[in-house]
Amino acid sequence: MKDALPAPPGASRALLGSLLRPHRRRVVVTCLVLILQRGISQVSPLLVAYTIDRAVPALRENDRGPILAVCLGYLLVVAGSGALQYGYVRLSARVGQDVIFDLLGRVFRHSQALSVDFHERYTSGRLTSRATSDVGALRGLLTKGLEDIVGAVLTTVCITGLLLYLDWQLGLAAVAVGGPLYLTVRTFRRRATRVYRERSSAMATVTGKFSETFHNIRAVQTFRLERPNDESFRRINRHHADLNGDAALEMGRYVTSSRLIANAGIALLVMWGAHRVASDSLELGVFTAAVLYLRRLYDDPLKLGGVLDAYQSAVASLEKIAALLAQRPSVPEPAAPQRLPANAPGRRGRQVVFENVSFTYRTGDEVLSPFDLTLTAGETVAVVGATGAGKSTLAKLLARFHDPSHGRVLLDDVDLRDLATAELRRGVVMVTQDAFIFSGTIADNIAIGRPEADRKDIERAARAIGAHGFISALPDGYDTDVRTRGTLISAGQRQLLALARALLADPAVVILDEATSSLDIPGERLVQRAMSTVLKGRTALVIAHRLSTVRIADRVLVLADGRVVEDGTPDALIDRRGKFADLHAAWSSPLNRSALIRSTSPLVTQAESFSNRP
Ligand SMILES: Nc1ncnc2c1ncn2[C@@H]1O[C@H](COP(=O)(O)OP(=O)(O)OP(=O)(O)O)[C@@H](O)[C@H]1O
């Protein structure tokens, strides 16, 4: 699976800049400490040269001064370089830590703010991969990689300068060997970028497969998907392993060729230097120091290859994170939000109008053809229709998870696009099939509906919904941590909690995507009663999957192929003998079912599943 998000040009550089900018002072200090540390640690070969060319001859003259100066100098170099190294590690760790903290926070906040439309395309596994392996690659670069890269550049500049100072001919020859070495590093970088980018995408696919499988482990085991899953994971894993192999091969080629160039260069320079020492045109000490410097000079670019591994991974990761952060919500916050008019006393619901609305998903055909629809304040409207008819899409437009492709959705005459998200979410609450339970206590889970609610409000909502009984029976009542009991809360109880949450939120409009999973009869009755409590007086759009739900609706809409084909009270629609009448007949009489199953009505599948419910 390719990471398809496009990144605007320069996005990763801009992201890195924005991450480092708040810490620029500390970044500058850290760089200065690194420069000093690298500078000081280059002094020791000079001390060796001084020892050979000055201190040893002085000792022969019984002059101990120069050798004592060398010892003192050496101690100072060791102590200074050690202290600076410690300072650098501390400083860079702090900056790295703060940058990663900032980046992770941004990824989380940004992803949360992106519209449902984005999350329907971009799986949670891919998001997890951004937050774990990609942020991890960046952490690796910030903690160790930058030191090696910046250090290598500093060392190269510093040593080349010193070699030119000690003996300009040797210095120039050293630079000449650096040319082919530089070309090797460049070639490696270019090829490695491609391999590392592919490897990073392959890793994201591995993470995605893990997340998808274990998120849906019940379905995997129910449908015995273990074997096909093993098979597809083996392919994904193989691809990732192959790319790892390619990356190692690139690295191997690089290390071999660069070492060959460096060592051949050193050998030539040593031979030439030795001839010059023999002919007295180069001092022995200077020659020794030059050889020591040459080793260091070529060692760092060689190490750089290893660091480039981390660097390439980090660049590929940064690109992906930048592309994610460059995504904009497809349902943007209005620039000048409008307020909803104050509700008349005693009126709980609000009028909803779909005005010439049509809708097409980014990639597909028209899912909802142009239609007008008005839900009067306080009305409960049940939506039925065959699978894929567009019921959930209609609900998502009302919750403003998507904006219509054409037309407007109005809440008490205010276009949903003009409502601030906070006001929209206060006014319109969607209770989904999954009845999500978040980590925290039962009370926390209900309070999500209105975070400022106190315990009394929470209990009142739970009692009204009929959830108080089962909650009180839990070991810690409302303070029971659902994470520890998570799966022990039944499907019906989860739905009751979700309804209590919605009741506490007290919205004007409720959208209910009724769970399709069957409950036992007492469970279903409890949920039905709870639903009636939540819907009472509010404007409600209910995607109905049960006969009992349609019975409590004031009006029924029948959707077929993205069109409202029937609209009226349940009784009026039964009299009309259309699709709803067929559906109702199938619900009511098991004998009619077999006749209906033979018919071609797309609603029959749904009727079939309804009539099978307890
Ligand atoms: N995010 C999406 N991107 C592209 N197409 C989508 C998306 N969501 C739904 N669709 C398509 O839109 C059509 C209507 O889907 P929708 O979920 O609204 O139907 P539904 O009536 O709610 O079905 P069900 O009863 O099965 O939930 C379907 O053809 C579906 O494939």
Closest residue CA from atom 18 of ligand 1: 390
Query: Considering the domain boundaries, does residue 484 fall inside one?
Result: yes
Query: Considering the domain boundaries, does residue 511 fall inside one?
Result: yes
Convert the pLDDT of each residue in 328-345 to its tens digit.
888 888 888 888 888 777
Asked whether the beta carbons of 540 and 380 are under 8 A apart, the reply is yes
For residue 91, pLDDT beyond 70: yes
Q: Is 9 helix (H, G, I), strand (E, B) or coil?
A: coil
CA of 393 to the centre of ligand 1 (A): 6
Same domain, 308 and 373: no
pLDDT of residue 484: 62
Same domain, 240 and 371: no
pLDDT of residue 530: 83
Query: Considering the domain boundaries, does residue 341 fall inside one?
Result: no
Same domain, 114 and 249: yes
CA of 367 to the centre of ligand 1 (A): 8
CA of 443 to the centre of ligand 1 (A): 34
pLDDT of residue 600: 35
What DSSP element (H or E) covers 178? helix 168-215
pLDDT of residue 157: 85
Number of structural domains the chain divides into: 2
Same domain, 195 and 306: yes
Joined together, the tokens standing for residue 555 give 């009006």
Query: Considering the domain boundaries, does residue 275 fall inside one?
Result: yes
Q: Please report which confidence band the pLDDT of residue 594 belongs to, taking 50, 70 and 90 as the band edges.
A: very low
Query: Percent of the chain beyond pLDDT 90?
Result: 24
| Interatomic CA distance for residues 326 and 11, integer angstroms | 8
What domain range includes position 418? 352-611
Q: Supply the mean pLDDT for the chain.
A: 83
Same domain, 288 and 395: no
| Interatomic CA distance for residues 330 and 351, integer angstroms | 25
Closest residue CA from atom 26 of ligand 1: 387
Joined together, the tokens standing for residue 74 give 């050496």
Looking at ligand 1, which atom is closest to the CA of residue 389? 21
pLDDT of residue 154: 82
Q: Is the CB of 112 under 6 A from ligand 1?
A: no
Same domain, 316 and 358: no
Question: Which residue in this structure is represented by tokens 């074997």?
Answer: 227
The CA-atom distances, in angstroms, between 241 and each of 131, 236, 311, 572 are 22, 9, 20, 64
Q: Is the CB of 120 under 6 A from ligand 1?
A: yes
Of 395-399, 506-510, 511-515, least confident by mean pLDDT is 511-515
Q: Which of 310, 325, 340 is the last residue of a domain?
A: 325
User: For residue 144, which amino acid is it?
Assistant: K
Convert the pLDDT of each residue in 422-436 to its tens digit.
889 888 998 876 667
For residue 597, pLDDT beyond 60: no
Maximum Cα–Cα distance across the chain:
124
pLDDT of residue 214: 86
For 144-158, what is the mean pLDDT?
Answer: 80
pLDDT of residue 301: 60
Question: Where residue 599 sits, what CATH number does that domain have?
Answer: 3.40.50.300
Same domain, 248 and 393: no
Query: Considering the domain boundaries, does residue 99 fall inside one?
Result: yes
Rounded-to-5 percentages of helix, strand, coil across the chain: 65, 10, 20
Q: Please report which confidence band the pLDDT of residue 516 belongs to, taking 50, 70 and 90 as the band edges.
A: low
Q: Please report which confidence band the pLDDT of residue 476 belongs to, taking 50, 70 and 90 as the band edges.
A: confident
CA of 510 to the centre of ligand 1 (A): 20
ipTM, interface predicted TM-score of the complex: 0.96
Phi-psi sector, 224: left (phi>0), alpha (psi -120 to 50), beta:
left
Q: What is the CA radius of gyration of the chain?
A: 36
Same domain, 317 and 394: no
Letter string b/e over residues 174-205, b meaning 16 or more CB atoms within 10 A of that residue's CB: beebbebbeebbeebbebbeebbbbbbbbbbb
Pairing mode of beta strands 555-560, 563-568: antiparallel
CA of 389 to the centre of ligand 1 (A): 7
Question: Which residue in this structure is represented by tokens 């010059």?
Answer: 276
Same domain, 41 and 78: yes
Query: Considering the domain boundaries, does residue 123 fall inside one?
Result: yes
The CA-atom distances, in angstroms, between 298 and each of 80, 258, 289, 432, 446 are 24, 9, 14, 63, 65
Query: Considering the domain boundaries, does residue 481 fall inside one?
Result: yes
| Interatomic CA distance for residues 273 and 266, integer angstroms | 10
CA of 361 to the centre of ligand 1 (A): 9
pLDDT of residue 599: 38
For residue 2, pLDDT beyond 60: no
For residue 518, pLDDT beyond 60: no
Same domain, 306 and 361: no
Query: Percent of the chain beyond pLDDT 70?
Result: 90
Query: Considering the domain boundaries, does residue 402 fall inside one?
Result: yes
Q: Is the CB of 392 under 6 A from ligand 1?
A: yes
Asked whether the beta carbons of 352 and 409 are under 8 A apart, the reply is yes
Q: Is the CB of 210 under 6 A from ligand 1?
A: no
CA of 573 to the centre of ligand 1 (A): 25
Q: Is the CB of 46 under 6 A from ligand 1?
A: no
Convert the pLDDT of each residue in 69-78 to its tens digit.
999 999 999 9
Same domain, 233 and 380: no
Looking at ligand 1, which atom is closest to the CA of residue 396? 18
Question: Where residue 53 sits, what CATH number does that domain have?
Answer: 1.20.1560.10
Among residues 529, 495, 524, 526, which one has the least CA distance to residue 512? 495
Q: Is the CB of 606 under 6 A from ligand 1?
A: no
CA of 388 to the centre of ligand 1 (A): 5
pLDDT of residue 101: 93
For residue 308, pLDDT beyond 80: no
Among residues 527, 589, 433, 561, which one has the least CA distance to residue 607? 589
| Interatomic CA distance for residues 332 and 418, integer angstroms | 10
User: Which of 114, 362, 392, 517 to mutate to test ligand 1, by most ligand atoms within 8 A of the CB atom?
Assistant: 392
For residue 592, pLDDT beyond 70: no
Same domain, 65 and 143: yes
